[in-house]
Amino acid sequence: MNSKISLLVSALLVSSIALSACTNKAENTEVNPEASQKDSGVTNVAFPLKEKVTLKAVAHRPSLAPSDFNNQPLLKSLEAQTNVQIKWDTIVESDFIEKRNILLASRNLPDFFFSGRFSDSELIRYAKDGTIIPLNDLIEKHMPNLKAILDSRPDIKAQITAPDGSIYALPNGEEIGSGQQEIVSNPNFIYINKAWLDKLQLKMPTTMDEYTEVLRAFKKGDPNGNGKADEIPLTYIDNFWTGDIGILFGAFGVPDKTHRPNNPTYIDHLNVVNGKVQFAPQQEGYKKAAAYLHQWFKEDLVDKDAFTHNYETYFARGKTKDETLGSLIWWDKNDVTGPERGEHWVLVPPFKDMVIGWNNGGGFGRDGVTITSANKNKEITAAWLDSFYDPVFAAQSRFGPIGVWFDKDSSGKLIQKEVKNPGETRQSTAISNGIGMLLTEHTNKVDYIEPRATERIKDNTKLYIPQMEKEKFPNLFFNEEELNTIDKLKPDISSYVNKMRAKWLLNGGVEQEWNEHQETLKKMGIEKLLEVHQSAYDRYVKAKK
């Protein structure tokens, strides 16, 4: 962090007016678009500030994280080194978008959203009405760490720049692998309880029908030996970015994908086949998958709480006194089972002819921190936020602090500690995944790639990539006209499709309602929505040639 501070130190605040503005900051009130574009008079920012400045921030947080971010040691350290105090309003992730929207409607804005989780269309909309401000000049003048990244990586700068040339939100992400080997290419791994397979003398399933028989055996065979019918053959989190049952739709040729948290603009359930953008809920394979999987729900082979799980309840599912889980879908088995039980859990290889989805989007998120027009200390805010683009600080903010997640070796490089339960630990000790970037070139300073991430890429490469889609919908920044169409059509279509999928899984009826479903999608504008995505995709392909 000392190296970060030295980068920022260039001069003292240049006027008593600026210092007075820092000290006597007014309460945030109505948006003034014209005032938001004016420079506040600070040409350089030197930390620590002579007088303390307090900024208001709204942040999303995982359910396992402490509600008061100022109790996080990393932020305590940053406050001491900058003399910038943050008044945090943290909102649990599951409630964040709803409460953020209420806050936006009230116009009682914070100084910045950490992060705002804004979609591309929301970024454009709130920039046009003056709610948030463009960040290009602030990055250029007051964010040397981030500026160095964008200067050296024009690909990243292109991803986060709107078609009008402005950057409205700071980027975030970790560079781990590329192409189909990128860490997020397949967020859904299927795991099975090998101890239960062995006890019931069952073989690893190689088809959906064999998998069905295994789940039935888990349900009826009392594999945990407690004499109770408490076994849950399969658990997952419905319509979540990882752990969704949509991976099993691929056994019918049409993998079903849910949205990613760092790219909420692209259509849920989207595939690209031979250059053509397709909507999974329009395909026959989707219908067959929904009908087949309904039988599992009918026979009580699937956890009915899948539709209400969050991180906390899902992670607790595998840690009951008597082991009750037979199979699960998730990023890492140990998050759910715990590392001790995880030793007898193994990956289920994809079934013959199963199509593994290549997750849409990818690259770095552009839904990170946004600065609002109510902020009277924009330059100080930008300089403070730039701390998160120093790789040593970024690693701690995105994973956990030194002493918890990292140690330092003799050369000063951050190396990872052996963390007993990395998934839960990261949820509770990381400040945010909505800011900061870790790139391959940073590995000389920070060993940020978790051992489980390295193992995940190896497993994905060996088992899943051979059957993975060859195309995906990339992380495109649509133009304003396209965003208007998406903004108009996507919410209702996504809501409708997700509701119908849940209905068909739980209650059946997909075959009887399929034709009506197709007509409903057409009336809702699915063809226009796909046309917009096809046009943007074609433009992307042409630009690559």
DSSP state for residue 302 in the 8-state scheme: B
Distance CA(245)–CA(313), nearest Å, equals 17
Distance CA(19)–CA(356), nearest Å, equals 57
Q: Residue 26: pLDDT above 70?
A: no
Two tokens at 118? 């804004």
Distance CA(434)–CA(427), nearest Å, equals 13
Distance CA(526)–CA(333), nearest Å, equals 36
| Domains of the chain by start residue, with CATH | 2-178+364-388 (3.40.190.10)
**Confidence class for position 44, pLDDT limits 50, 70, 90:** confident
What's residue 40's pLDDT? 58
Which tops the pLDDT comparison, 65 or 498?
A: 498
Beta strands 189-193; 327-330: pairing state: antiparallel
Average pLDDT, the chain: 89
Distance CA(247)–CA(464), nearest Å, equals 11
Two tokens at 170? 């700071």
Beta strands 436-438; 327-330: pairing state: unpaired
Q: Residue 456: pLDDT above 60?
A: yes
Give how far Cα 419 sits from Cα of 44, 373, 451, Å: 40, 41, 10
**DSSP for 181-220, written as a single string:** GSTTS---EEEEEHHHHHHTT-PPP-SHHHHHHHHHHHHH
**Confidence class for position 17, pLDDT limits 50, 70, 90:** very low
Q: What percent of the chain is modeled with pLDDT above 70?
A: 91
Order of strands across the sheet that contains 345-347: 327-330, 189-193, 345-347
Q: How many CB atoms lie within 10 A of CB 395?
A: 25
Q: pTM of the predicted model, to two decimals?
A: 0.79
Question: What integer is the mean pLDDT of 127-138?
Answer: 97
Residues 45 and 379 sit within 8 Å (Cβ to Cβ): yes
**Confidence class for position 12, pLDDT limits 50, 70, 90:** very low
Q: Is 221 helix (H, G, I), strand (E, B) or coil?
A: coil
Q: What percent of the chain is modeled with pLDDT above 90?
A: 74
Two tokens at 355? 């199509």
Question: What integer is the mean pLDDT of 375-392?
Answer: 97
**DSSP for 380-415, written as a single string:** HHHHHHGGGGSHHHHHHHHT--BTTTEEE-TTS-EE
**Confidence class for position 217, pLDDT limits 50, 70, 90:** very high
Chain segment 296-349, per-residue pLDDT in tens? 999 999 999 999 999 899 999 999 999 999 999 999 999 999 999 999 999 999
Residues 12 and 49 sit within 8 Å (Cβ to Cβ): no
Q: Is 449 helix (H, G, I), strand (E, B) or coil?
A: coil
Q: What share of residues in the chain are helix, strand, coil (percent, to 5)?
A: 45, 15, 40
**Confidence class for position 30, pLDDT limits 50, 70, 90:** very low
Of 49-53, 77-81, 360-364, give the lowest mean pLDDT range.
360-364
**Nearest Cα to Cα of residue 286 among 348, 213, 357:** 357
Distance CA(54)–CA(41), nearest Å, equals 18
**Confidence class for position 7, pLDDT limits 50, 70, 90:** very low
